[in-house]
Amino acid sequence: MTDAPAPLADPHLVYDPVAGDGPKDVVILGSTGSIGTQAIDLVLRNPDRFRVTALSANGGRVALLAEQAHRLRVRTVAVAREDVVPELREALSARYGAGEPLPEILAGPDAATQAAASDCHTVLNGITGSIGLAPTLAALEAGRTLALANKESLIVGGPLVKALAKPGQIIPVDSEHAALFQALAAGTRADVRKLVVTASGGPFRGRTRRELAAVTVQDALAHPTWAMGPVITINSATLVNKGLEVIEAHLLYDIPFDRIEVVVHPQSYVHSMVEFTDGSTLAQATPPDMRGPIAIGLGWPERVPDAAPVFDWSKASTWEFFPLDNEAFPAVNLARHVGELAGTAPAVFNAANEECVEAFRTGALPFLGIIDTVTRVVEEHGTPATGTSLTVPDVLEAETWARARARELTARTASAEARA
């Protein structure tokens, strides 16, 4: 274990690109999403610790983006959709006083990447999907601390991220990986026997594969413990999200896949655990709330007081743990296989899944068809481009092929069902 490559995320190492007193300058990517809005809540409650200099969003919630920009007094607002710029400028003008300068507006598909490279201490990447890869690489190349909530960018571009990241430069924000990050601080890397990643089990915990055949989009969006966006919520229902987290844990901590275990924990109190060689297991636990992991990402190595709720230990509670049903939920094992293939295979897995989730949301694919189709796309992909030769064009080409193939297979499924 001691001869293995250094992990991307190491709680014992602190990367500080801009040392000094005063609040940390932070850029928030995906500011109108679940992670972004909770990060802004944390910042507004801790103005002595954090100052937001730039925001980015896709452009679907212009009024909220303008409100955020005004409350935080940011220098720059980035929006992916160029068509909403007039609406955004009007919304900003309505909030700023006469003669008060408006923030700079960046627009287009590269706007978030430009924001990620802007002058700041920390970039919080809360974008959903593999479109977060370019901003992740830009933040690392610019020398910023990266608070990473966009797991897809690490998964699809693992070797690219590892080639750029300096020791301690990435702080994970996923609740599971923030938990592992904190638990790993208790020992050396050589002391680690196993990583245990917890899963709520989603809305369909305990159901058999046959019982999953008729579930609806509304069923899949009814997550029992977390309030998240629709894509990640459906990924949690299929357990694709847990599969992605297994790959992410491998990449962040350089622990082999056979020493990363998934267990079902319905209460979502224990966010993950580290088992050490002496038999000790350290679990990180809080009530389900993403502001705790976000605070770790923005504040490390310091903790932010009262960032998230705490348990009332005077009240009785029950914490349960169950083995994962890999027959009903094969996504985790598929993700392990993809992670071991490495190269462009994770990009194919992720891109095909994004297409299949969208097809499920629009009624073009049944729930079980998501993983069945992703599995077929992965199998057809064959031997991926691997090793240090992996490039961004390799990733983009693999994603393009996977999306097209997933759409073809989805259309066949829809046509067959229509004939039936």
Q: Which residues are annotated as a binding site for 1-deoxy-D-xylulose 5-phosphate?
A: 151, 175-176, 200, 223, 236, 241-242, 245
Identify whether the C-beta of residue 52 lies closer than 8 Å to the C-beta of residue 122.
no
Taking the C-alpha atoms of residue 131 and residue 115, their distance in angstroms, rounded to an integer, is: 14
Taking the C-alpha atoms of residue 97 and residue 14, their distance in angstroms, rounded to an integer, is: 41
Number of Cβ atoms within 10 Å of the Cβ of 400:
12
Identify whether the C-beta of residue 251 lies closer than 8 Å to the C-beta of residue 338.
no
Identify whether the C-beta of residue 354 lies closer than 8 Å to the C-beta of residue 130.
yes
Percent helix, percent strand, percent coil in the chain, to nearest 5: 45, 15, 40
Q: Binding site for Mn(2+): what residues are annotated?
A: 174, 176, 245
Taking the C-alpha atoms of residue 31 and residue 96, their distance in angstroms, rounded to an integer, is: 19
Burial of 265 from C-beta contacts in 10 A (0-12 / 13-18 / 19+)? buried
Taking the C-alpha atoms of residue 172 and residue 195, their distance in angstroms, rounded to an integer, is: 15
Taking the C-alpha atoms of residue 349 and residue 345, their distance in angstroms, rounded to an integer, is: 6
Identify whether the C-beta of residue 56 lies closer than 8 Å to the C-beta of residue 111.
yes
Identify whether the C-beta of residue 159 lies closer than 8 Å to the C-beta of residue 254.
no
Number of Cβ atoms within 10 Å of the Cβ of 368:
17
Please give, one letter per residue, the 3-state secondary structure of 217-264.
HHHHCCCCCCCCCHHHHHHHHHCHHHHHHHHHHHHHHCCCHHHEEEEE
Q: Binding site for NADPH: what residues are annotated?
A: 32-35, 150, 152, 229
Taking the C-alpha atoms of residue 249 and residue 243, their distance in angstroms, rounded to an integer, is: 10
- Quote the tokens at residue 8: 């991307």
Q: Binding site: what residues are annotated?
A: 32-35, 150-152, 174-176, 200, 223, 229, 236, 241-242, 245
Taking the C-alpha atoms of residue 402 and residue 111, their distance in angstroms, rounded to an integer, is: 25
Contacts of 258 (CB under 8 A, 6+ apart): none
Taking the C-alpha atoms of residue 228 and residue 230, their distance in angstroms, rounded to an integer, is: 7
Taking the C-alpha atoms of residue 412 and residue 406, their distance in angstroms, rounded to an integer, is: 10
